[in-house]
Amino acid sequence: QKEVEQNSGPLSVPEGAIASLNCTYSDRGSQSFFWYRQYSGKSPELIMSIYSNGDKEDGRFTAQLNKASQYVSLLIRDSQPSDSATYLCAVGPMDSSYKLIFGSGTRLLVRP
């Protein structure tokens, strides 16, 4: 059973701080990794994708991938109250280029 694990939170950080969200996955052959943001009552919104080991930066967001340790993380710099949402980690397993396996999400609260 392929799994993607996330701490459900809530992770509470003050405004302006760095929020660090983590995700581990069980399928060592996974090739693609994604972070989605989901506001309450809304659909998941893709914010980052990463395919290679290392860091990938996009604005205030940095995704980090370590395939050897089977974890992927998302850093949000200068956190804003508008970043408060549930962040879903998704992993593309090796045996399917179409299927994504989602974690249950980490709820982030940014305190003003």
Partner 1 sequence: DTAVSQTPKYLVTQMGNDKSIKCEQNLGHDTMYWYKQDSKKFLKIMFSYNNKELIINETVPNRFSPKSPDKAHLNLHINSLELGDSAVYFCAVTGTSGSDEQFFGPGTRLTVL
The footprint of partner 1 (CB under 8 A) covers 32, 34, 36, 38, 42-46, 49, 86, 88, 90, 92, 96-102, 104-105
Comparison of 99 and 111: residue with beta carbon closer to partner 1: 99
Burial label for 4, CB within 10 Å (0-12, 13-18, 19+), is buried
Comparison of 74 and 92: residue with beta carbon closer to partner 1: 92
Least distance to partner 1 from the beta carbon of 40, Å? 10
| Radius of gyration over every alpha carbon of the chain, rounded to an integer in angstroms | 13
Number of Cβ atoms within 10 Å of the Cβ of 17:
14
Contact 23, 6 (CB under 8 A): yes
Least distance to partner 1 from the beta carbon of 45, Å? 7
Least distance to partner 1 from the beta carbon of 6, Å? 11
